[in-house]
A = this chain, B = another copy of it.
Amino acid sequence: MTVFNTLLEAVAHCDNFPYVLDPKKEDDEMHRAIPFLLGAHTIGHVLPSVLVALKDYNQTTPVFTISDSSVQFSETVQTSQERTLAVKALMDSWRQNKTFDVLAGWRDELYPVYGDENEPDNIAFVMERASAALFGVSTFGVHLNAYIRNDQGEIFMWVARRALTKPTWPGLLDNCVAGGISYNYSVKETIVKECEEEASIPSHLASQARSVSLITYYTCSPGALQPETEYLFDLELPQDFKPIPRDGEAECFYLWPLQKVKETILNNEWKPNCALAAIDFFMRHSFITPDDEPEYIDISYRLHRRLEFPTPRKGLNR
């Protein structure tokens, strides 16, 4: 397993979608991703491996207009409901035919895909969570850094060990609580719900979690493109409170000094994007500072990557 010399390397390990696409790099299919367009907006990316399957499906069910340089919905698929149904039929077909491994992780959970501001709630359509990475659409989530201060004021962070049964990143370290934001949930509702489900943090404590920051990055792995926007919360817990796994997502929780958190990040023991949420905490709590972290600025750039996709412009708490 790769280990990292610097925190910036750990950040870049997650934020690994190319900043400039170079289609000549034929050994890396990420460079040959093409835009999924909706009107004037790029709302996602499609990899060559997905494009092949999409062209195949489209021969019998022509719902997309496909060229070598872009994919978009065909003229017969124009409303958000029509798009939702077209994408659902496609994914049902791929799931049934076992075309893509990622669809084995089907969750029956809908994610919004944002588009033009003129759309209702500027949502272009909604799609199954597990299928989002096939279209490289922006997804949204929450991460909680839960911590205590000891009597000397020193910070200790609650860190989760992911269950060995998780389909993704089993056994790796994670933030105390994290989760995706489903269609029709607000950010605050999501964090309170996940606190209860993942760590048995009751709502009277979870509701004290404070919205403090945002990280944006674009991570990819073979066959999957994940531009992600994560709303970060801090929650200082009472010294005597212990998070307890509840829904089986977490194996156990550790209470660690920040130095230990940093060492395990450099040792590549974390789910990559969760390390970013912890590093953002390091910056906000002066654990790393510009005088002692030579790559402070570059870390900040990559924690706040500007994604080209439309953003929810009406707030999430509709």
Footprint of B on A, CB under 8 Å? 186-188, 210-214, 216, 229, 231, 283-286, 289-298, 300-301, 303-306, 311-317
B284 touches A297 (CB 8 A): no
Beyond the given A187-B291, A298-B313, A301-B304, please list 18 additional residue pairs across the A-B interface where CB-CB is below 8 A: A186-B291, A187-B289, A187-B290, A210-B285, A211-B283, A211-B290, A212-B284, A214-B283, A214-B297, A216-B297, A216-B301, A229-B297, A291-B316, A292-B315, A293-B315, A297-B311, A305-B306, A306-B306
A300 touches B304 (CB 8 A): yes
Closest to A291 in B: B317
Query: In the bound complex, what is the Cα–Cα distance between A231 and B213 (angstroms)?
Result: 16
Give this chain's copy count: 2
Query: In the bound complex, what is the Cα–Cα distance between A291 and B315 (angstroms)?
Result: 5
A313 touches B286 (CB 8 A): no
Complex A-B: 16 CB contacts under 8 Å: A187-B289, A188-B289, A211-B283, A211-B286, A211-B291, A212-B285, A213-B283, A213-B284, A214-B296, A214-B297, A216-B300, A231-B290, A290-B315, A291-B316, A297-B312, A303-B304
Query: In the bound complex, what is the Cα–Cα distance between A312 and B292 (angstroms)?
Result: 12
Closest to A287 in B: B211
Given contacts A284-B284, A304-B304, contact A211 B289 (CB under 8 A): yes
Query: In the bound complex, what is the Cα–Cα distance between A212 and B188 (angstroms)?
Result: 23
Contact partners of A311 in chain B: CB under 8 A = 295, 297-298
Contact partners of A216 in chain B: CB under 8 A = 297, 300-301
Query: In the bound complex, what is the Cα–Cα distance between A293 and B210 (angstroms)?
Result: 15
Contact partners of A187 in chain B: CB under 8 A = 289-291
B300 touches A214 (CB 8 A): yes
The minimal Cβ–Cβ distance linking A302 to chain B, given in whole angstroms, is 9
Contact partners of A231 in chain B: CB under 8 A = 290
Query: In the bound complex, what is the Cα–Cα distance between A297 and B138 (angstroms)?
Result: 12
Contact partners of A210 in chain B: CB under 8 A = 285-286
